[in-house]
């Protein structure tokens, strides 16, 4: 049972959260200049790393804030957590 | 009543002043307070306690702990009967009832013991092989299989509802100590003294571990006294919590440990309101594993006879329970430990015929045995045992250097092939085990989580080391979780330094014959099965396990995995670490489903989500239907009505006059802020910037991949205030999605979203007379001129201020939806019903709600199935060309557009009578041979009351453009149904929309 340190609420059990996918994925922006390929890649293409991974979690049964969690997919170690609109250390 | 012929007059931890009566099979016995079922049976000289899994060989008590493979019984009777309980772990209580398992009418005369004669035909892989032979798939085989299944097996569940309840609790601590033996107690003491919150978990009624049956002195006191003092000291501390009768069964991520506490299993039935068992979800900063070790058996011919037991278990029965399991004992060992069993047996008055030691060396205990005139036979092994269902009668001993065969008469064999650390929890934590070649055991290697192993679990069996490691680990754990690091002084102990253990994994065959040498007693896996697996190529330990079932029983091979893999390593000619061991998986010991379910059973399995008008529906006599966890009225039957009668009546009365429906379950999201219109512009496919205050609009959202996601009506209550509705099913997901866009993608937008589904109740009033009813309720003018279609306004309803009125329609009729703060919902509902009485207002449920939307051709869940686009659903015109919105670009991909898309249409059966079936496929040709091309499917079906015929909605390739007024076939091959039907517009009533606007 993973514990996640919500930047707003503190350390909480994972049952309070839902998983929201890859946070390295940058939204292409709603603009006519954005190509179909960019939307396609945003929607479908994901890395599947073994090791540290940046991902979105939603504190859905808590403060309802989306946060970024840097988690090791091999060990489940939670390395860092920040509000979703903030960067986590260096670029993943 | 049988007497306790094997009970010693004194000694042990049992209370001879408290005799207990119990029944095993058809006989009544007595035992004492403090006994386990196993010790009480042995006290009464009951040797035969069960039949083996496959061969139905007689089996007796083997161990004294959780590793027990043989003594599995049905405990209790009736609805409390529990199968496969280990007699070694059942605390005796007065009136206990137990029955042996896997037998015919009688345990002694079990007819299936005949299987033992055919054992040559029942080797490993027998069952698999029967799938492949000439009889496969024949009636004969199916017939025989029934018998095989019946004869191989374990206990049976009662089949009755469990009368007891179960519980789940969570608790956190800095330091969790698992195992209350000397190492664990010392660790807990050390950690607690430094101020950390400590939880100590022990699987017995009282902690103490080996000190409960060994005869050590600590600090000049009896071991037991030291335990009692230590436990009392821990209990007096506020920062220590001791869980007795609790097994840590699983070690999960982030130091999360699952435990099960047998709260009332030692009682006939739970007392007071206590649960029978309780699962503890523990999470710790640091875990100290003091889980001890399991003694390993010797593997020799007929080593499964009753009366052949683990040496440590024999010593436990003598010292802790005051029971000698035999009159004439042979001790057989490859380590010093079993010498103490010989001493204990001798001192209790049992004749120890000989101690057979596989080693050549002189044990540190040799002199003590010689003092007692116990014969030691070195460099020798038992090669076979003789006996019957009443137990072993003699053993044949061979010298390992050749020759020297002798037969020893005995009724008890105490064997020990060393001790294997209990690495289960360590391994589950992700740690890798390591092979210690000097000591011939697997030990914990590198840790993955914040834990450490101490004492026997760490491969260090001496009492002194256990205490030292415990003390150091407790202090280290305290320090690593932010507390002081003082180390508790380790008390002095009386202990002999033991000589080295030299395992003998398999004893040689006797001079004559090849009796079965059992490795896994519970699953009837013998050395010959392992060798067969090797010959047939199943040489990896994981294959070995699955092919032979080695270690797959309820004991999970605690006494068979190590010998089994060692014998496989021997066959392969490789080392034991090269052969490796199988994965340790939770649970460590079986956990009842009841405990895992906890209190979440029956009506508590899922919460019932009720609308504020729930009680009113109940009074109207509705039938309920689950919508997620909501419960909604499905229909309101009048006497003798079927569901079909009811929804046709409700539909007719609504379209004929007026009906009312509770639509509270629709998701309601309140959006406020200066950028709200801009936000809606981005997430909906249609326009919102110019929506006037006081107006509602139908909107549709797409997913990022362009598929239709959710629809609903959103209204502008003021310049910066909108109220959105979502479908019932997607309410939670849409809310989380909006939050994602606002918090992650466009944090610059000034919009606040709040779910208000629970705060507002919603009642739809529909039908040509709905305006007349609503006008009696609200304080605003609801004429067509003042409040036209898609109007939205605040209002006072039935005297209740702060309500909202919308002129929206899901049925296609003139309709209103009134939103009421939920506390007043039932009151307003009653007032509407009263106001509507003169128009014969009818309450309608989801069945009618659905039927009317199908008649009107509105899409809902069955059409928004995650594969359809807005264009497929006939809503392509809504997609704005002038703006960007979520999902737009991918919705226009080649694969999402074009003539071949399946599009939304309506169906009418060609005969005007045959009902249609949702989910049925659509084919072009009535008589085509398979494979038949499927050009679409039926999504929703209903009954058009106005035109008096069945109708359907669905998706068909090319849509109306390709198929309008043509006949296709609804195919439902499972029932051999094929129905010709005409493709029509999906709008069956009021296609011009005159009623809506009227």
- Helix axis angle, B770-777 relative to B825-836, nearest 10°? 130
Query: B168-293+421-480, superfamily in CATH?
Result: FAD/NAD(P)-binding domain (3.50.50.60)
Neighbours of A42 (CB within 10 A): 18
The DSSP secondary structure of B787-821, one letter per residue, reads S-TTBEEEEEETTEEEEEEE---SSSSSEEEEEEE
Q: What is the predicted pLDDT for the residue at B692?
A: 97
Could you please state the CATH topology (level 3) that the domain comprising B894-997 is classified under. Answer: Elongation Factor Tu (Ef-tu); domain 3 (2.40.30)
Residues of A in contact with B705 (CB under 8 A): 43-44
Chain A CB within 8 Å of residue B432 CB: no
The pLDDT of residue B488? 86
Tell which of A6, A29, A30 to mutate to test the B interface (max B CBs under 10 Å). A30
Interface residues on A facing B, Cβ-Cβ cutoff 8 A? 1-3, 13, 18, 20, 27, 30-32, 34, 36, 39-40, 42-44, 56, 58, 60, 64-66, 75-76, 84-85
Contacts of B890 in chain A (CB under 8 A): 36, 39-40, 43
In the structure encoding, which two tokens stand for residue B168, read together?
A: 């789940």
Tell me if ipTM is over 0.95. yes
Element (H, E) at A43: helix A36-44
B739·A2 Cβ contact <8 A: no
CB B701 within 8 A of CB B833: no
Domains annotated for chain A, with CATH where assigned, are 3-25+34-83 (3.30.2270.10)
Alpha carbons B465 and B456: distance in angstroms, whole number: 9
3-state helix, strand, coil in chain A (%, to 5): 15, 35, 50
* Chain A residues near residue B888 by CB distance under 8 angstroms: 30
CA angle A61, A62, A67 (to 5 degrees): 100
- Residue whose structure tokens are 């008589």: B927
Chain B residue with the nearest C-alpha to that of A23: B744
Contacts B252 to A, Cβ<8 Å: 1
The tens digit of pLDDT for each residue in B265-319 reads 999 999 999 999 999 999 999 999 999 999 999 999 999 999 999 999 999 999 9
How far apart, in whole angstroms, are the C-alpha atoms of residue B474 and residue A21?
40
- Distance, in Å, from the CA atom of B590 to the CA atom of B593, rounded to the nearest integer, reads 9
Q: Which two tokens stand for residue B896?
A: 């999402």
Q: Give ∠ CA B39-B42-B44 in degrees, rounded to 5.
A: 115
Nearest to residue B199, comparing CAs of B280, B314, B114, B85? B280
State which residues of chain B have pLDDT below 70. 1-2, 127-128, 130-137, 151-152
Domain with CATH 2.40.30.110 in chain B: 894-997
Report how far residue B897's alpha carbon sits from residue B890's, in angstroms, rounded to the nearest whole number.
10
Minimal CA–CA distance to A91: which of A46, A54, A50, A47? A54
Token pair belonging to B643: 């569901």
**CA–CA gap between residue B466 and residue B476 (Å, rounded):** 15
The closest alpha carbon to B47, from B93, B107, B120, B96, belongs to B107
B393 close to B411: Cβ distance less than 8 angstroms: yes
| CATH 3.50.50.60 location in chain B | 168-293+421-480, 297-417+498-509
Structure tokens that stand for A37 in this block? 């390929």
- Contact indicator for B26, B107 with CB cutoff of 8 Å: no
Closest Cα of chain B to A68: distance in Å?
10
- The dihedrals phi and psi of B352, each to the nearest 5 degrees, come to -95, 105
Decide: B940 and B953 in contact? Cβ < 8 Å.
Answer: yes
Residue pair B47/B391 in contact (Cβ under 8 Å)? The answer is yes
pLDDT of residue A92: 40
Token pair recorded at residue B713: 């009506």
Q: Where are the alpha helices (DSSP H) in B557-675?
A: 561-572, 576-579, 593-597, 614-619, 643-656
Inter-chain contact B885–A30, Cβ cutoff 8 Å?
yes
Contact criterion met (CB < 8 Å) for A2 and B254? yes
Q: Which two tokens stand for residue B825?
A: 């919902």
- In the CATH scheme, what architecture does the domain B297-417+498-509 have? 3-Layer(bba) Sandwich (3.50)
Using the beta-carbon criterion (under 8 Å), do B448 and A75 form an inter-chain contact? yes
The HSE-up count of residue B161 (CA atoms within 13 Å, CB side) is: 4
CA distance B581 to chain A (A): 22
Residue B733 is classified by DSSP as: H
Range(s) within chain B of domains with CATH label 3.30.70.1400 = 667-756
What long-range pairs does B147-151 form, CB within 8 A, spacing at least 24?
Answer: B151/B56, B151/B112, B151/B115
CATH 3.30.1360.120, chain B: domain bounds: 614-665+758-856
Contacts of A4 in chain B (CB under 8 A): none
At B751 the pLDDT is 98
Name the architecture of domain B614-665+758-856. Answer: 2-Layer Sandwich (3.30)
Task: Please give the Cα distance from B874 to B859 (Å, whole number).
Answer: 9
**Beta-carbon neighbour count of residue B975 at 10 Å?**
8
Q: Any idea how long chain B is?
A: 998
- Burial per residue of B598-613, b for 16 or more beta-carbon CB atoms within 10 angstroms, e otherwise: beeeeeeeeeebbbbb
Give buried/exposed letters for B117-147 (b at 16+ CB in 10 A, else e): eeeeebbbbeeeeeeeeeeeeeeeeeeeeee
Count of beta carbons in the 10 Å neighbourhood of residue B873: 20
Angle at B198 between CA B192 and CA B199, to 5 degrees: 140
Interface contact B740-A20, CB threshold 8 A: yes
Cα dihedral across residues B142, B147, B152, B158: positive or negative: positive
- In this structure, how many other beta carbons lie within 10 angstroms of the beta carbon of residue A83? 15
CA distance B815 to B808: 6
What does the alpha-carbon distance between residue B734 and residue B736 come to, in Å, rounded to a whole number? Answer: 5
Global pTM exceeds 0.80 = yes
Burial class (CB in 10 A: 0-12, 13-18, 19+), A9: middle
CA distance B287 to B254: 11
CATH code of B517-581, in short, is 1.10.10
3-state secondary structure of B612: coil
State the pLDDT at residue B152: 67
- Please return the burial class of A72, using the count of CB atoms within 10 Å of its CB with bins 0-12, 13-18 and 19+: middle
- Residue A91, pLDDT above cutoff 50: no
Are B385 and B305 in contact by the 8 Å Cβ rule? The answer is yes
State the smallest CA–CA distance between residue B895 and chain A in angstroms: 13
DSSP E strands: which ranges in B494-555? 518-520, 525-526
DSSP string covering B166-178: -EEEEEEEEEEEE
Q: Which class is domain B1-161? A: alpha beta
B590 neighbors B72 (Cβ within 8 angstroms)? no
Q: Cβ of B538: how many Cβ atoms within 10 Å?
A: 20
Q: Which CATH number fits domain B667-756: 3.40.630.30, 3.40.50.1820, 3.30.70.1400, 3.30.420.40?
A: 3.30.70.1400
Q: Do B744 and A44 touch (CB under 8 A)?
A: no
Residue of B192, B177, B286 whose CA lies nearest to B234: B192
Cα–Cα–Cα angle for B137, B529, B406, nearest 5°? 145
Of B253, B743, B888, nearest to A66 by CB-CB distance is B743
Tokens of B346: 């001798």
DSSP characters for B104-128? SS-STT-GGGGGGGGGGGS-TTHHH
| Chain B partners within 8 Å of A43 (Cβ) | 704-705, 890
**What three-state secondary structure class fits B183?**
helix
CB atoms within 10 A of CB B743: 19
Task: State the nearest Cα–Cα gap between A53 and chain B, in angstroms.
Answer: 17
DSSP letter assigned to residue B767:
S
Q: Which two tokens stand for residue B587?
A: 């649970």
CB contact under 8 A, B890 and A43: yes
Q: How far B792 CA lies from chain A's nearest CA (Å)?
A: 30
- Closest-CA distance, A9 to chain B, in angstroms, reads 16
Helices and strands in chain B: count of H runs, count of E runs: 25, 49
A36 CA: distance to closest CA in chain B (Å) = 6
Asked if A76's CB is within 8 angstroms of B253's CB, the reply is yes
CB contact under 8 A, A65 and B889: no
In this structure, are residues B998 and B814 in contact, taking their beta carbons and an 8 Å threshold? yes
Beta-carbon contacts of residue B430 (< 8 Å; ≥ 6 apart):
A75, B448, B449
Query: Checking DSSP bridges between strand B949-957 and strand B902-909, what pairing results, if any?
Result: antiparallel
């Amino acid at each position: 049972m993973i514990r996640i340190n919500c930047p707003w609420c503190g350390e909480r059990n994972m049952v309070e959260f839902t998983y929201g996918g890859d946070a390295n994925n940058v939204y292409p922006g709603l603009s006519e200049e954005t190509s179909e390929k960019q939307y396609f890649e945003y929607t479908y293409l994901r890395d599947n790393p073994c090791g540290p991974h940046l991902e979105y979690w939603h504190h859905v049964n808590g403060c309802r804030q989306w946060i970024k969690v840097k988690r090791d997919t091999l060990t489940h170690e939670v390395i860092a957590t920040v509000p979703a609109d903030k960067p986590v250390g260096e670029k993943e | 009543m049988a007497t306790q012929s094997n009970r010693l007059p004194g000694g042990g931890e049992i209370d001879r002043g408290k005799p207990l009566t119990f029944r095993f099979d058809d006989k009544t016995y007595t035992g004492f307070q403090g006994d386990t079922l196993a010790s009480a049976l042995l006290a009464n000289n009951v040797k035969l306690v069960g039949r083996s899994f496959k061969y139905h060989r007689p089996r007796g008590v083997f161990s004294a702990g959780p590793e027990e493979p043989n003594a599995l019984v049905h405990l209790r009777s009736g609805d409390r009967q529990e199968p496969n309980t280990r007699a070694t772990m059942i605390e005796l209580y007065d009136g206990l009832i137990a029955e042996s398992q896997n037998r015919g009418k009688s345990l002694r005369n079990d007819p299936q013991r005949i299987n033992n004669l055919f054992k040559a035909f029942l080797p490993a892989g027998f069952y698999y092989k029967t799938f492949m032979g000439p009889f496969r798939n024949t009636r004969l085989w199916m017939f025989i299989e029934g018998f095989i299944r019946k004869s191989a097996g374990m206990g049976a569940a009662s089949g009755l509802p469990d009368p007891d309840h179960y519980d789940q609790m969570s608790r956190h601590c800095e330091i969790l100590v698992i195992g209350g033996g000397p190492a664990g107690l010392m660790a807990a003491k050390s950690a607690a003294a430094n101020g950390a919150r400590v939880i100590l978990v022990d699987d017995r009624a009282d902690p103490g571990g080996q000190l409960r049956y060994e005869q050590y002195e600590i600090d000049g006191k009896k071991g037991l006294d030291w335990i009692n003092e230590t436990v009392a000291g821990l209990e007096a501390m506020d920062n220590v919590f001791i869980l007795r009768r609790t097994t840590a069964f699983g070690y999960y991520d982030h130091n999360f440990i699952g435990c099960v506490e047998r709260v009332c299993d030692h009682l006939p039935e739970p007392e007071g309101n206590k649960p029978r068992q309780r699962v503890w979800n523990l999470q710790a900063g640091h875990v100290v594993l003091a889980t001890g070790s399991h003694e390993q058996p010797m593997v020799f011919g007929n080593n499964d006879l009753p009366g052949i037991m683990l040496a440590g278990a024999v010593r436990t029965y003598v010292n802790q329970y005051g029971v000698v399991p035999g009159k004439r004992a042979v001790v057989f060992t490859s380590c010093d430990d079993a010498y103490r069993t010989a001493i204990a047996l001798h001192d209790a008055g049992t004749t120890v015929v000989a101690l057979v030691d596989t080693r050549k060396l002189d044990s540190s205990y040799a002199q003590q045995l010689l003092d007692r005139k116990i014969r030691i036979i070195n460099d020798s092994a038992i090669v076979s045992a003789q006996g019957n269902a009443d137990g072993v009668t003699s053993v044949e001993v061979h010298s390992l250097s050749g020759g020297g065969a002798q037969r020893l008469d005995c009724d008890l064999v105490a064997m020990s092939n060393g001790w294997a650390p209990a690495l289960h929890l360590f391994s589950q934590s992700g740690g890798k085990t390591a092979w210690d070649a000097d000591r011939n055991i697997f030990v914990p290697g590198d840790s993955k989580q914040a834990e450490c192993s101490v004492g026997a679990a760490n491969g260090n069996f001496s009492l002194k080391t256990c205490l030292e490691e415990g003390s150091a680990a407790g202090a280290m754990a305290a320090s690593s979780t932010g507390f002081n690091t003082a180390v508790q002084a380790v008390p002095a102990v009386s202990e002999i330094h033991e000589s080295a253990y030299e395992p003998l994994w398999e004893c040689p065959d006797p001079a004559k014959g090849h009796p079965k040498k059992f490795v896994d007693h519970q699953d009837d896996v013998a050395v010959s099965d392992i060798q067969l697996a090797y010959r047939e190529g199943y040489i990896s330990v994981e294959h070995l396990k699955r092919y032979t079932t080695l270690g797959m029983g309820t004991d999970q091979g605690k006494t068979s995995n190590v010998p089994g893999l060692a014998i496989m390593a021997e066959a392969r000619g490789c080392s034991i670490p090269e052969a490796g061991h199988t994965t340790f998986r939770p649970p460590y010991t079986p956990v009842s489903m009841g405990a895992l379910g906890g209190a979440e059973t029956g009506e508590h399995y899922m919460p019932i989500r009720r609308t504020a008008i729930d009680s009113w529906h109940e009074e109207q006599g509705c039938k309920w239907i689950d919508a997620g966890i909501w419960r909604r009225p499905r229909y309101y039957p009048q006497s003798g009505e079927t569901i079909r009668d009811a929804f046709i009546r409700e539909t007719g009365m609504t379209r004929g006059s007026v009906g009312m429906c509770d639509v509270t379950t629709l998701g309601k999201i309140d959006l406020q802020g200066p950028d709200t219109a801009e936000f809606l512009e981005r997430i909906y496919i249609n326009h919102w910037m110019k929506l006037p205050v006081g107006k509602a609009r139908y909107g549709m959202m797409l997913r990022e991949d362009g598929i239709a996601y959710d629809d609903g009506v959103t209204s502008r209550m003021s310049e910066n205030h909108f109220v959105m509705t979502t479908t019932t099913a997607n309410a939670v997901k849409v809310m989380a999605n909006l939050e994602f866009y606002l918090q992650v993608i466009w944090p610059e937008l000034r919009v606040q979203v709040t779910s208000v589904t629970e705060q507002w109740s919603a009642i739809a009033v529909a039908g040509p007379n709905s305006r007349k009813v609503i006008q009696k309720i609200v304080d605003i003018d609801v004429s067509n001129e003042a409040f036209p279609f898609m109007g939205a306004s605040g209002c006072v309803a039935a005297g209740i201020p702060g309500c909202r009125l919308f002129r929206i329609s899901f049925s296609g009729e003139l309709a209103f939806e009134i939103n009421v703060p939920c506390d007043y919902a039932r009151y307003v509902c009653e007032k509407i019903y009263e106001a509507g009485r003169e128009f014969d207002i009818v309450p309608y449920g989801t069945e009618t709600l659905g039927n009317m939307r199908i008649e009107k051709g509105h899409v809902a869940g069955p059409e928004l199935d995650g594969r359809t686009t807005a264009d497929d659903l006939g809503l392509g015109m809504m997609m704005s060309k002038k703006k960007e919105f979520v999902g737009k670009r991918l919705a226009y991909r080649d694969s999402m557009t074009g003539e071949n898309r399946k599009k939304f249409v309506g169906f009418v059966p060609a005969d005007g009578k045959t009902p249609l079936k949702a989910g049925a496929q659509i084919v072009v040709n009535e008589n085509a041979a398979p494979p038949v091309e499927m050009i679409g499917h039926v999504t929703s079906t209903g009954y058009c009351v106005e035109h008096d015929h069945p109708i359907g909605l669905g998706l068909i390739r090319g849509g109306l453009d390709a198929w309008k007024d043509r006949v296709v076939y609804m195919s439902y091959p499972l029932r051999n149904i094929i129905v010709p039907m005409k493709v029509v517009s999906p709008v069956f009533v009021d296609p011009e929309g005159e009623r809506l606007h009227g």
